[in-house]
Structure 1
């Protein structure tokens, strides 16, 4: 245990808690829109920071680094490429998303397909997002364990408490500003770490030549279908991620939403490239290491200067914490807006919405912590949660935006069958292929076939309104 690491980590966490306390004040968060949309007043640069920090959690710092360590930097181009490709899709959808002013993704689906689709989508979102929150708890526990010497389980308890507190406090305002500062620090830390680590591998020459043969090609020893199985879950998640939709909805206007997504696209390479380089170097510098600790291990074992390692560990934990808080906040919104607010006879007051939202966050945090104890690795839970959510919602969302012939029956059948096939494949199939390779085609074909034999509704998303407000 390095004292400097512990001191920096504690100070960083104290700063996050202070941010949460500041924005939890009543005058900062007094309405439901304040809590979930930050009053739609976030500056563009803060929007970019919160978008990238929400996306880059333990799925990148731990799960992504684990993939790079296991399969090499060229295969990582395919793995990490899913994020930027999805960001490009969202760039072209950003104005539509902002104009819709929807609180949740299921709410958008109801505009086209009715209440039954909204309810099924809400249930699936809750199911998947609890899993995503769970692996943020697990990832945060791993970092705390590296720094303090506590067990990962004990670290997960601390991570759970802080993540839940931030979500309960100031909502998106506290999460967004915490995201922004964390994004700046970890980008700077990762960029500085690259030449330091390469200096210990004799530069890029040693960095490359010391790799096993399987790590020096684009497949990484995986089949094409296996690589596709790693690409698709992340791609599907980002283009349907409710966090992305809510943050774009929090932008000041449709044009700002598009600018924010463009900024996120370019900023993502400042994360993905250093993580890939550092995790690849770990193959040489830590040949017997744990893949989950490929980047974090370099920061914690003395490979990096003590202060730099401390900053990377602290900001990586902050990314995980704010990502977890974002997903908690988001899934709480499903319970509030897709559940209570949708079915109450009278509109909920702001006070009741805030109270229900906060109680829901507490309940979901407990469920996520319990779920995290059943999955041995972050990468495994990551792929499972991404697939359940993406397979169910992406075909439905794309149909809502682009295919007027889609029907409610087709969407319901697609969503339901997609989830069932994913769960059955993960639990029963004896295969190295991720379920998405099977369940996504099933969901898409089902949507097409059932829609073509059933009658569509005439309702369409208000594209004319989008164009007028662009």
Structure 2
């Protein structure tokens, strides 16, 4: 058997297994709440698994491996904000958001601030999730094209069929459990490759000595390209913006209890640590084992196809596909839920029956999945621009509604609206200006949104006790 045959066999078996599991889980779905949020029945293991797998996209494996390969140890700071998100969620956010009883982020925004806020959030989420979905499909095409000579069109629709099947059939429950399988596949894959590389080099110490001899900057905490200010920016940026991304916040809302939501984030932080350590080793050791690769996104494929046994290579390719599918299915579920429950049912057909909502959700999943595939073949500047900004714009618009709005009862409806508008506009202006002073729009956007929220709220009429009671019960006693 050729290496390529082994690669594609392992990838196809893995993808087929996920589809079968999704279909089996789909048979247990009884109503829309079960489909959207697993009837808030997810325990610590599936909740931490799906959160981890949603965060770890193709970028986290393919691109970050190349980043560590080219930058050495200083590159580790780019994952700091993601770890910071789980840390903050463990201490405060996850438990509180789950305690409100909402099933989606727009539902929380509507109940806390108002219907107009929810509609704006829905539109931003819908555009952002579909364009991010197209990016994951594109990444999958690139990875599969490296191991088999299939046309991009065929590959795209094959991937679409796999994750649309279990997302449409099983909803959040199927997504959570398939994501959990993907999560452990990813961790096992990167550890297997890291151990293989360390054995080739003679251990961790030998790797560090080799890197120091090659370039002392590779074993430093910072470098000329990655300064302490850069590291601080990463920590603040992704530590804040992830709370405006509903594909992450939605996981808190699917937990069995507020305590489960909190504990799952602690487990997620541990899983992220177990992922990033071996990934760093793969990138760093790869610099010594296969020097001379200059293109960041070619590093991973080069290391897998040229330095390890094809069975291990097949496991690594399966890990990347797992990362892609686990992120794509979450984005697809988010888009279909936003369209059906948060837009159609809330603003168009409030008397929709449960069965009609469930059927519409499944149809929307298929149609939005097809739209995501079609976007991968549209190379217009508009699509590329929206895609690049999607996460930042969601974070700039909505992160403060969670980080401040869920904890501060003095935040008013007008303050929240001003915050969403200002955060969105500032992030776009910051992009247009070319990120002045090297500061990311993902920092300037949420920061301006938070300041605006506090200032406007202090000068506008407070919300009534009845409006605040579901979130701040103590207001009824004041």
TM, length-normalised to structure 2: 0.87
Tell which deviates more after alignment, 409-418 or 362-371: 362-371
Q: Does 1:316 align with 2:320?
A: yes
Task: Check whether the contact 1:142–1:155 (CA below 8 A) recurs between aligned residues.
Answer: no
Relative to structure 1, the CA distance from residue 130 to residue 72 in structure 2 (aligned partners, 3 Å threshold; closer, same or farther) is: farther
Contact 1:137 / 1:159 at 8 angstroms: preserved in 2?
yes
C-alpha deviation, 1:193, in angstroms: 1.5
Greater mean alpha carbon deviation, residues 226-235 or residues 254-263: 226-235
1:44 paired residue number: 44
Q: CA RMSD in A?
A: 2.9
2:374 and 2:224 map into 1 onto residues whose CA distance is 34
Q: 1:112 to 1:173 in 2, by over 3 A?
A: closer
After superposing the two structures, state which structure 1 stretch, 170-179 or 419-428, moved more: 419-428
Please identify, of 138-147 and 234-243, the stretch whose mean Cα deviation from structure 2 is larger.
234-243
Deviation at 1:154, TM superposition (A): 5.5
Matched, 1:441 2:443: no
Structure 1 residue runs of 5 or longer lacking an equivalent are none
Q: What is the distance in 2 between the residues matched to 1:395 and 1:346?
A: 28
Aligned-pair distance for 1:51?
A: 2.0
Cross-structure match for 1:182: 182
Of the three residues 461, 464, 470, the one matched with 1:462 is 470
Give 1:97 shift: 2.1
Alignment map for 1:48-447 (pairs within 5 Å): 48-76=48-76, 78-91=77-90, 92-150=92-150, 155-202=155-202, 203-206=206-209, 208-209=211-212, 212=215, 215=218, 216-219=220-223, 221-222=225-226, 226-284=230-288, 285-299=290-304, 301-344=305-348, 346-372=350-376, 373-374=378-379, 384-427=389-432, 429=434, 433-447=439-453
Q: Equivalents in 2 of 1:205, 1:145: separation in Å?
A: 34
Q: How big is each residue's C-alpha offset from its partner over 1:216-260, in whole Å with a ceiling of 9 and x where there is no partner?
A: 442461455554554444323432332333333222222222222
The 1-side partners of 2:298 and 2:79 are apart by 18
Which residue of the partner structure matches residue 29 of structure 2?
29
Aligned partners of 1:424 and 1:152: how far apart in 2?
A: 35
Counterpart Cα distance in 2 of 1:2 and 1:231: 39
For 2:272 and 2:385, the matched residues in 1 are separated by 23
Residues 105 and 242 in structure 1, CA contact (< 8 A), matched pair in contact too: yes
Q: What is the CA deviation profile of residues 329-370 of structure 1, one whole-angstrom value per residue up to 9, with x for unaligned ones? A: 012211122212212464321221122212322343344334
Which stretch shifts more, 263-272 or 249-258? 249-258
C-alpha contact (below 8 Å) 2:103/2:254 kept by paired residues: no
Alignment deviations for residues 114-154 of structure 1 (CA, whole Å, 9 cap, x no partner): 11111111222222222321221122222212222446675
| Alpha-carbon contact 2:74-2:226 (below 8 Å) kept | no
Equivalents in 1 of 2:158, 2:469: separation in Å? 43
> Residue 404 of structure 2 aligns to a residue in which SS?
helix
Are the counterparts in 2 of residues 400 and 461 from structure 1 also a CA contact under 8 Å?
no
Q: Structure 1 residues 413, 298: CA separation in 2 closer, same or farther (over 3 Å shift)?
A: same
Cα distance in 1 for partners of 2:72, 2:380 equals: 24
User: What is the TM-score of this pair, normalised by structure 1?
Assistant: 0.88
Whole-angstrom CA distance in 1 between matches of 2:214 and 2:101: 49
Q: Aligned pair count?
A: 460
The separation in 2 between residues aligned to 1:59 and 1:144, in whole angstroms, is: 15
Q: Flag the 1:443–1:69 CA change in 2: closer, same or farther, 3 A.
A: farther
Deviations 1:139-184 (A, max 9, x none): 2222212222446675444333323333222112222221122222
Distance in structure 2 (CA, Å) of the matches to 1:251 and 1:70: 39
